[in-house]
Chains A and B, each alone.
Chain A
Amino acid sequence: MTGSKRKFAIVVFPGSNCDQDCHYVATELMGCDAEYVWHHDTDLKNSDVVILPGGFAYGDYLRAGALARFSPVMESVIRFAMDGGPVLGICNGFQVLLEAGLLPGAVRVNRGLRYVCRDVHMRVENASTVFTRLYEPGQIVKMPIGHMEGNYTAPPETLTELEFESGVVFRYCDEEGRVTDEANPNGATAGIAGISNREGNIVGLMPHPDRCAEALLGNDVGRRMFESAVASLAPA
């Protein structure tokens, strides 16, 4: 049966530090195969799903994600994504997707100018993307964040497009699902925590589903993102 196992590619940049967490979720928690793909490699090893993990790729020099985007591996990731392959960017991985232009907009430094590390609540605004289809629309999920630059913004016309085409996937909210300024940890425009492309196969978010994927840790809601991707794949 190993021949039909689904395979995750975990991209590793110098400075990635959540690559092993993602590998663990894919293999130990989901029973899938997973391969690390070094930033100099261009071979995604026939993977079904590509994850850009969190960390500080290239030390976040210049801007978070700005240098990682020019890695050889990114050409393969862009081609994979353009062919409809599922690509998930988590935290620093989301920043790389933004810098690479696979998702629109940019992140600025948090409005509080501090690194923020804590649990946040989010409302699932689009439960039909490749990575969110196992959630209920409007479901409130709790995930941890840990970032300095998560203050999402985009030009007004891009924001309008995101809102009208269900590009907003997750929005920061309080425990009851109210999108308030107090519930917004970083100042992101309209409380945007995660977005997707129009086709829904490319998703990026600041919170860490990889850090809440196991009941032993008290929260496994993040695992649904990985499971959604597998559930979205055509039968092997």
Chain B
Amino acid sequence: MRVEVRVYPKEGVLDPQGKAIASALGRLGHASVEDVRAGKIFFLDLRGDDPVAVEAEARRMAEELLANTVIEGYDVRFPADL
């Protein structure tokens, strides 16, 4: 079952990459850019077809490894939801 974990800088945590991208977009003429935060996305193919169990497992993976929860938040989504 395909599940996605998105990891991103927590609100309020300085994100130097996001800031740099925002200013580059501004230089390219995208004057509408107010803020950018840059994160990562993990596409996980997990065995099992119980979405509740798969989501719980993906959350544990995020807590244990994929995100550093001191500075990063995460969410878990199913592509089918989108």
Contacts and interface: CB of A to CB of B under 8 A. Distances in A.
A15 B9 CA distance: 26
Nearest to A106: B70
Contacts of B17: 109, 113
A198 interface: no
Contact of A153 (B14, B20, B65): B14
B71 A153 contact: yes
Interface of A: 62-63, 66, 70, 99, 104-106, 108-113, 151, 153-155, 187
Nearest to B40: A62
A62 B68 CA distance: 10
Given A106-B68, A112-B16, 12 more contacts: A62-B65, A62-B66, A99-B68, A105-B70, A108-B9, A108-B13, A108-B71, A110-B16, A111-B14, A151-B16, A153-B71, A155-B70
B67 to A, nearest CB: 9
Contacts, number: 37
Interface residues of B, number: 12
Contacts of A66: 65, 68
B13 A153 contact: yes
Nearest to A104: B70
A112 to B, nearest CB: 8
A108 B65 contact: no
Contacts of B70: 104-106, 153-155
Interface string B2-28: 000000010001111100100000000
A151 B13 CA distance: 11
A106 B66 CA distance: 14
A35 B10 CA distance: 40
Contacts of A106: 68, 70-71
A180 B9 CA distance: 26
A151 B14 CA distance: 10
B20 A113 contact: yes
A147 to B, nearest CB: 14
A70 B71 CA distance: 20
